Chain A
Amino acid sequence: QKEVEQNSGPLSVPEGAIASLNCTYSDRGSQSFFWYRQYSGKSPELIMFIYSNGDKEDGRFTAQLNKASQYVSLLIRDSQPSDSATYLCAVSKGGKLIFGQGTELSVKP
């Protein structure tokens, strides 16, 4: 079992819809949880991080963390074609980030 798991996708949503990206992790000792966006050929860009149970909102993005279920998600409201990218979930453990394989999101105009 991988430490951080994401659906590889591709996840396709129409422009203006809500995109929901999910991530599960195996180690209950994980401390913080990060979402990065990576465009093809570029480096990962931090969208947001969360470390307390519940929701955290930043503009069109909402991260949700449920430590009991070992689950973290990212919601993107009013999805735009420019949101088309690979979204990486990362978990902080022991001073390093452990990444999932990423979910490819495609937003269709």
Chain B
Amino acid sequence: KAGVTQTPRYLIKTRGQQVTLSCSPISGHRSVSWYQQTPGQGLQFLFEYFSETQRNKGNFPGRFSGRQFSNSRSEMNVSTLELGDSALYLCASSEFGTGVNTEAFFGQGTRLTVV
């Protein structure tokens, strides 16, 4: 069974640009969550998509957005990049979402560097 696949693995972007990251969950999993990991803030929740609908959202500005397709693949978009957006972006796949008795598995992450 294939794991969670994130592409690309590494990105270098310039301030002001926008970027799109992709996540393909484990087959059969309908929930995809996105997290940002930085040395200072640790892992922080961005948002969760379930069956093409955003179900939960964290405390990030509107520059961060996402969507999910009918095959459960998800994309995350960051517009008007800032230096502080440099981070490891992780997506987590779970069958029904993070709750009681439901595991969440992470992809390898996308390392975004904004210069």
Contacts and interface: CB of A to CB of B under 8 A. Distances in A.
A97 B45 contact: yes
Number of chain B interface residues as a range: 20 to 34
A17 interface: no
B90 interface: yes
Interface of A: 31-32, 34, 36, 42-46, 49, 51, 88, 90, 92, 94-102
B101 A44 contact: no
B104 A34 contact: yes
B102 to A, nearest CB: 7
Given A46-B105, A92-B102, A95-B99, 18 more contacts: A31-B99, A31-B100, A32-B98, A43-B88, A43-B90, A43-B107, A44-B90, A45-B106, A49-B103, A88-B43, A90-B43, A92-B98, A92-B100, A95-B48, A95-B55, A96-B58, A97-B98, A98-B45
A64 B100 CA distance: 16
20 contacts: A31-B99, A31-B100, A32-B99, A42-B108, A43-B88, A43-B108, A44-B90, A44-B106, A45-B106, A46-B103, A46-B105, A92-B100, A95-B56, A95-B97, A95-B99, A96-B48, A97-B43, A97-B45, A97-B98, A100-B42
B17 to A, nearest CB: 24
Nearest to B105: A46
B33 interface: yes
**The 6 residue pairs across chains A and B that have the minimum distance between CB atoms:** A99-B43, A95-B56, A96-B45, A43-B106, A43-B109, A92-B98
B92 interface: yes
B112 to A, nearest CB: 14
Contacts of A32: 98-102
A99 B44 CA distance: 7
